[in-house]
Structure 1
Amino acid sequence: MAKHVIVNNEEHKDIKIITKRSAELGDNIWYAQTFPQEFRAVQAHYPIFFSKNPETGQFLPVALFGFKHQENLFLDDQGWHASYIPAAVMRQPFLIAQQTITENGEEKQQRMLSMDMDNPRVSTEEGEPLFLPYGGNSEFLDKVANMLEALHFGVSDGTQFCQALTDMELLEPFTLDVQLQTGEKHQMIGFYTINEDKLAALSNEQLERLHKDNYLQAIYMALASQSNVRTLLNKKNALEAAAQPA
Structure 2
Amino acid sequence: MAKPVLLNNITHQHLRVRTGPGAEFGDNQMAAPIIAAEFRQAQAHYPIVFRPTAGDGFEALALFGLAAGDNLFLSNDGWDADYVPLAVRRQPFLIGVSGQELTVHVDEDSARLRCGPDEGEAVFLEEGSPTPYLEQVNSMLFALHEGMLEMTGLIAALREHALLEAFVFEIELADGSERRLEGLYTINEEALAALDAAALDRLHRAGYLLPVYMVVASLSNFRALIERENRRYAVPR
* Superposition pairs of residues 173-184 of structure 1, within 5 angstroms: 173-184=166-177
Q: Which residue of 1 aligns with 2:42?
A: 42
Q: Which residue of 2 aligns with 1:76?
A: 75
1:60 is aligned to 2:86:
no
User: Aligned partners of 1:89, 1:214: CA distance in 2, in Å?
Assistant: 25
In structure 2, give the amino acid aligned to 1:183.
Answer: G
Q: Can you give the 5+ residue segments of structure 2 that lack an aligned partner in the other structure?
A: none
1:155 is aligned to 2:138:
no
* Superposition pairs of residues 222-233 of structure 1, within 5 angstroms: 222-233=215-226
Determine if contact 2:31/2:63 at 8 Å carries over to the other structure: yes
Deviation at 1:117, TM superposition (A): 0.6
Deviation at 1:123, TM superposition (A): 3.3
In structure 1, give the amino acid aligned to 2:176.
Answer: G
Deviation at 1:57, TM superposition (A): 1.8
Deviation at 1:245, TM superposition (A): 8.4
In structure 1, give the amino acid aligned to 2:106.
Answer: M
User: Aligned partners of 2:48, 2:236: CA distance in 1, in Å?
Assistant: 34
User: Aligned partners of 2:122, 2:46: CA distance in 1, in Å?
Assistant: 31
In structure 1, give the amino acid aligned to 2:136.
Answer: K
Question: Structure 1: which 4+ aligned runs deviate by more than 2 Å?
Answer: none
Q: Which residue of 2 aligns with 1:191?
A: 184
Q: Which residue of 2 aligns with 1:24?
A: 24
Instruction: Tell me the matched-pair count.
Output: 235
Identity %: 43
DSSP-derived class of the 2:165 partner: strand
Q: Which residue of 2 aligns with 1:114?
A: 105
Residue among 227, 233, 237 paired with 2:230 = 237
User: Aligned partners of 1:23, 1:2: CA distance in 2, in Å?
Assistant: 16
Q: Can you give the 5+ residue segments of structure 1 that lack an aligned partner in the other structure?
A: 101-108
Deviation at 1:159, TM superposition (A): 2.1
Determine if contact 1:19/1:121 at 8 Å carries over to the other structure: yes
User: Aligned partners of 2:104, 2:202: CA distance in 1, in Å?
Assistant: 35
1:6 is aligned to 2:16:
no
Determine if contact 1:15/1:124 at 8 Å carries over to the other structure: no
Determine if contact 1:17/1:129 at 8 Å carries over to the other structure: yes
In structure 1, give the amino acid aligned to 2:68.
Answer: H
Determine if contact 2:18/2:115 at 8 Å carries over to the other structure: no
TM-score, normalised to structure 2, is: 0.95
DSSP-derived class of the 2:91 partner: coil
In structure 1, give the amino acid aligned to 2:138.
Answer: A
User: Aligned partners of 2:15, 2:96: CA distance in 1, in Å?
Assistant: 19
In structure 2, give the amino acid aligned to 1:96.
Answer: I
TM-score, normalised to structure 1, is: 0.92
Determine if contact 2:50/2:186 at 8 Å carries over to the other structure: yes
User: Aligned partners of 1:193, 1:145: CA distance in 2, in Å?
Assistant: 31
In structure 2, give the amino acid aligned to 1:122.
Answer: L
